[in-house]
Structure 1
Amino acid sequence: MTDRYPASVDVAIVGSGPTGAAYARILSEEAPAATIAMFEVGPTVSDPPGAHVKNIADPDERAAAQTRSEGPNARASADRTGGIVKSAQRRARPGTYLLDDGFQVDGEDGLPAAAFSSNVGGMAAHWTGACPRPNDSERIDFLDETGVFDELLSEGERLLGVTTDAFEASPHAPLVRGRLAAAADEGRDAHERVQRMPLAVHRRDDGRLVWSGSDVVLGEPARDNANFTLHDESLVTRVLVEDGRAAGVRVTDVRTGESHEVRARVVVVAADALRTPQLLWASGIRPEALGRYLNDQAQIVFAVRIRDFEPAVGDEGAAQTGLSEYSGVTWVPFTDEAPFHGQVMQLDASPVKLADDDPAAPGSIVGLGLFCAKDLQASDRVEFSDDALDGYGMPAMTLHYTLSERDHEVIERAKAEIVRLGKAIGEPLDDRPFVMPLGASLHYQGTTRMGPTDDGTSVCSPRSEVWGVSGLFVAGNGVIPTSTACNPTLTSVALAVSGARRAREILSSDS
């Protein structure tokens, strides 16, 4: 960490989430002589910087880290954070904060639960760690055509530390998976059948779970790289462009209010799917598709008590990890025929609390979630003001978002399917599933989408370089051009790997 901004670097990275970290990691491995500066608007809330807050053993320290991640007005919005999901209230998950204004336009559905995190590590300090691979139409066809997509996904799994055996000893995981498989596997290919969820989590020798955050993505290659510096509480307000090329960034020290210019040959904007297009807009970089094709995943949730549940002897797992590790995390993959992605997990492993667990039989209640793929529409977009400002002094945003007729049909299908799957596992706690307020998934995508050609429907190339601005890259879920139902982090990190390799090529050609 350093408080002093350099006058110039080879690469400036805006945002410290997993995709920004992926650029730092790949460049540290493949271009170790390159100087890299990473800027994050939020504070450092964990040790090492960027670590997942679940790894903080002390609950008070963990809660403090979450609060510090909740933006410029965290204390004012604390009464809208957390809680059991029982109604359509606008509530943010711990570690996140809501978009106060502009989340819904009259006559549209909007994204009332649209939220952000501002901290070193970004949303990866608070996520579930689910890393499924995309399937069927979720995949990016023009990357499949070149044969690189699966290799990039494998690199993403390496950087995130993805495993499938972290909950291998969970006593009731085979029971849950078996019941789900009996209900869902018919007619599916082998890779589409019910299986363990790939997770960015590993188990230490002492038995404790360690959840991956940006610290894992950075790894030793970046942490030990003397040419890499991370600057927290640093707001990038503008990307500098000269003669059609990225030339650096303007950054404000949040603590002092002082503004600085940092020159760079490559600039990577990896803020998030709402703040990345915001920075480009503020910088006068406004391709036709910027902010458009915004898509989220409607989220349906349901809780059941496992049928014929028998508590395990003792609960050593909870003592070591903070979780009642009975049922693990199970994945029901997306298919074009069933256009939703499913995950089933222990209540205390879920970021959305669906019910109170049974104190007499901890671990007997599991939550089911189905995420629905969105019908992509250019009219679904984030719009930026030329006059009004947000809490950071950046252009205020307004979200235009409407569910199509097909979206409503998919949601109704998902509601019926989640009840069917839930009843296969056990006894429902409620008569009906609950549709989370739109935006609650936090899986916003499409606003800086990639495309095979510069035809006005994409913001960047297949290697994440912004059309018309050499050396400027965008990263994060916003780059994903397809409609997905699966958790998007693995895909966005995979795309960042390709972008980082292109950045390395630029640095090599300039030297």
Structure 2
Amino acid sequence: MTRREYPLEADVAIVGSGPTSAAYARILSELVPAARIAMFEAGPSISNPPGAHVKNIADPAERAAAQRASEGPGAGAPTVSSPGQVKAGTRQARPGTFLLAEGFAAPGEDGLPVAAMSSNVGGMGAHWTGACPRPGGSERIDFLPDLEELLDEAERLLGVTTQAFEQAPLPRRVRELLAARVDAGRESSLRVQPMPLAVHRRPEGELVWSGADVVMGEPTRANANFTLLDNSLVLRVLTDGASASGVEVRDQETGTLHQVAARFVVVGADALRTPQLLWASGIRPAALGRYLNDQAQVVFASRLRGVDAQLASRSSGAGLSEQSGVSWVPYTDDEPFHGQIMQLDASPVPLADDDPVVPGSIVGLGLFCAKDLSEEDRVEFDDRVADSYGLPAMRIHYRLSAADHQVIERAKEQIVRLGQAVGDPLDDRPFVLPPGSSLHYQGTTRMGQVDDGTSVCSPDSQVWQVPRLYVAGNGVIPTSTACNPTLTSVALAVRGARRIAEELENSLLMSESDNRMCK
């Protein structure tokens, strides 16, 4: 599926290889298998199949090498397994990601000091936690009448399940304890429940994480018209008049430049690099890079009481421990945060040497907070300074508003209540992670119902003013969300891919008809 021979032309050129780019490739492979699809990824392929989750690699040395290979210009820098381990005044990324070298905070602003990216086939989908909750309340995009069906399709592509830990004893206990504190007065759909997860079982029965490889699936891998080119950095989207007409790409292994003509271009890098590429291409709508949305994250930890060590055994080197689990406290407009409650196989804080941890008995609580959206929260690009890839350098402008601080304080109070309900807190107070820790950046190529200057793309993800150019990824989400965004962004990618497929199908039918007439 990966190769080094660059095509001269394609029907669809896809920039990036994360879950949303993979969704475009999958839907197009299913609906228009005759379409020629070329996917370009700036980083290397680090797994087999391409796009698989690195935590499914059993050998620790191989897993670490795959993570280092994903860190682009940050490779070799110290990393931390959790942003909660970042010491005051330090900036460290998680394994498999890298931070902005500069420009992460303007003077007098909060900035996003630990805003992180990854460069590898599969994108951040090779490193994520697989959480796929549906948006609720004001998180939802109210001008998409087909949103529920799109979310259904996104769940199919990601392989989402709520049954992964159905037989494990401890997750059920956690949810019962949380429900006693949370569920009163909530609609049934908003009560404590298992977190929908993108996980799957290998043929031998092991439960493992899903990545972009699952989204691509066999329909993409078996598609002879699909080509994945890794170590291929797209430098510009090409335009012919007003429409997208292809991409200019640099082979990172040889340094050679290639121009690939395309009838459609999809840019699905991430919420920072997608607007960067549009800017570098001279495509600069007023809303580009604006409404940047990180989710402030509050964390806490508790220990379940009365856990029998006989219930648990430690997990293997790869995949997931089936003793543990992930529970979900859904977002509501009255309580504008989303709870991701994860059981851990080790304590996040030091315990006594003679105090062994039963896997799954330590409960890590995290609340993601919805942001007070502002067009002034943005990523700008400096044409005078090049980043490590040779593209215009990023400059982050980001502030937490008074409303944001109020929500964070409410989340801190709530997470302590949840921690006390679950068991014995391991610390005296919750910790607010540094801005950028969520990795859930959104809004920078946001979708809109109409072209009024406050959005970058249409409800089909097509860039206003530039026909045949589509954007993908979390940056397309226009609402303030607290829930993990991947399911929503894949759903939006499905809508865009269907639009391209419809146009391609009509075009291919017309071409066949013309050929028959010529004969």
Scaled by the length of structure 2, what TM-score is found?
Answer: 0.94
Name the structure 1 match of 2:130: 129
Question: Cα deviations across residues 101-147 of structure 1 (Å, max 9, x unaligned)?
Answer: 0000111110011010000000000000000000000000101xx2x
Name the structure 2 match of 1:53: 54
Q: Secondary structure at the match of 1:318?
A: coil
Name the structure 1 match of 2:272: 274
Shift of 1:354: 3.3
State the distance in 1 between where 2:445 and 2:48 align: 31
Is the contact made by 1:67 and 1:95 (CA closer than 8 Å) also made in structure 2? Answer: yes
Q: Does 1:372 align with 2:369?
A: yes
Which residue identity lines up with residue 447 of structure 2 in the other structure?
Answer: M
Q: Secondary structure at the match of 1:305?
A: strand
Name the structure 1 match of 2:84: 85
Name the structure 1 match of 2:12: 11
State the distance in 1 between where 2:80 and 2:279 align: 30
1:492 paired residue among 479, 489, 493: 489
State the distance in 2 between where 1:335 and 1:311 align: 36
Q: Secondary structure at the match of 1:257?
A: coil
Give the number of aligned pairs: 502
Is the contact made by 1:303 and 1:367 (CA closer than 8 Å) also made in structure 2? Answer: yes
Which residue identity lines up with residue 447 of structure 1 in the other structure?
Answer: T
Q: Secondary structure at the match of 2:491?
A: helix
Shift of 1:362: 3.3
Name the structure 1 match of 2:308: 310
Name the structure 2 match of 1:99: 100
Which residue identity lines up with residue 234 of structure 2 in the other structure?
Answer: V
State the distance in 2 between where 1:371 and 1:182 align: 21
Question: Cα deviations across residues 393-424 of structure 1 (Å, max 9, x unaligned)?
Answer: 11000000001110000000000000000000
Q: Secondary structure at the match of 2:197?
A: coil
Percent identity between the two aligned chains = 68
Mapping for residues 114-153 of structure 1, pairs under 5 Å: 114-143=115-144, 146=145, 148-153=146-151
Mapping for residues 408-427 of structure 1, pairs under 5 Å: 408-427=405-424
Q: Secondary structure at the match of 2:160?
A: coil
1:384 paired residue among 376, 381, 387: 381
Is the contact made by 2:34 and 2:225 (CA closer than 8 Å) also made in structure 1? Answer: yes
When residues 466 and 135 of structure 1 are mapped into structure 2, their CA distance, relative to the original with a 3 A threshold, is same
1:449 paired residue among 435, 446, 450: 446
Mapping for residues 4-83 of structure 1, pairs under 5 Å: 4-75=5-76, 77=77, 79-82=78-81
State the distance in 2 between where 1:112 and 1:161 align: 33
Is the contact made by 2:209 and 2:320 (CA closer than 8 Å) also made in structure 1? Answer: no
Unaligned runs of 5+ in 1: none
Q: Secondary structure at the match of 1:172?
A: helix
State the distance in 1 between where 2:81 and 2:425 align: 23
State the distance in 1 between where 2:341 and 2:322 align: 13
1:184 paired residue among 176, 182, 185: 182
State the distance in 2 between where 1:332 and 1:314 align: 25
Shift of 1:207: 3.2
Shift of 1:347: 2.2
Shift of 1:308: 1.9
Which residue identity lines up with residue 271 of structure 1 in the other structure?
Answer: A
Is the contact made by 1:471 and 1:506 (CA closer than 8 Å) also made in structure 2? Answer: no
When residues 348 and 463 of structure 1 are mapped into structure 2, their CA distance, relative to the original with a 3 A threshold, is farther
Question: Cα deviations across residues 252-284 of structure 1 (Å, max 9, x unaligned)?
Answer: 001111101000000000000000000000000
When residues 345 and 314 of structure 1 are mapped into structure 2, their CA distance, relative to the original with a 3 A threshold, is closer
Which residue identity lines up with residue 242 of structure 2 in the other structure?
Answer: G
Q: Does 1:354 align with 2:352?
A: no
Q: Which moved more, 1:203-212 or 1:132-141?
A: 203-212
Superposed CA RMSD in Å reads 1.5
State the distance in 1 between where 2:148 and 2:435 align: 31
Q: Secondary structure at the match of 1:200?
A: strand
Q: Secondary structure at the match of 1:510?
A: helix
Is the contact made by 1:84 and 1:354 (CA closer than 8 Å) also made in structure 2? Answer: no
Question: Cα deviations across residues 172-218 of structure 1 (Å, max 9, x unaligned)?
Answer: 11110000000000111010000000000023453311211110000
Question: Cα deviations across residues 152-176 of structure 1 (Å, max 9, x unaligned)?
Answer: 0000000000011111122111110
State the distance in 2 between where 1:142 and 1:217 align: 26
Which residue identity lines up with residue 378 of structure 1 in the other structure?
Answer: E
State the distance in 1 between where 2:53 and 2:96 align: 11
Mapping for residues 98-497 of structure 1, pairs under 5 Å: 98-143=99-144, 146=145, 148-204=146-202, 206-313=204-311, 315=313, 318-319=315-316, 323-348=320-345, 354-355=348-349, 359-497=356-494
Is the contact made by 1:176 and 1:327 (CA closer than 8 Å) also made in structure 2? Answer: no
Which residue identity lines up with residue 494 of structure 2 in the other structure?
Answer: V
State the distance in 1 between where 2:445 and 2:390 align: 22
Q: Which moved more, 1:242-251 or 1:202-211?
A: 202-211
State the distance in 2 between where 1:303 and 1:184 align: 17
Shift of 1:366: 1.3
State the distance in 2 between where 1:330 and 1:314 align: 18
State the distance in 1 between where 2:222 and 2:319 align: 31
When residues 129 and 322 of structure 1 are mapped into structure 2, their CA distance, relative to the original with a 3 A threshold, is closer
Unaligned runs of 5+ in 2: 509-519
Q: Secondary structure at the match of 1:440?
A: coil
Q: Which moved more, 1:159-168 or 1:122-131?
A: 159-168
State the distance in 2 between where 1:470 and 1:150 align: 27
Is the contact made by 1:85 and 1:355 (CA closer than 8 Å) also made in structure 2? Answer: no
State the distance in 2 between where 1:60 and 1:348 align: 20
State the distance in 2 between where 1:188 and 1:167 align: 24
Q: Secondary structure at the match of 1:124?
A: helix
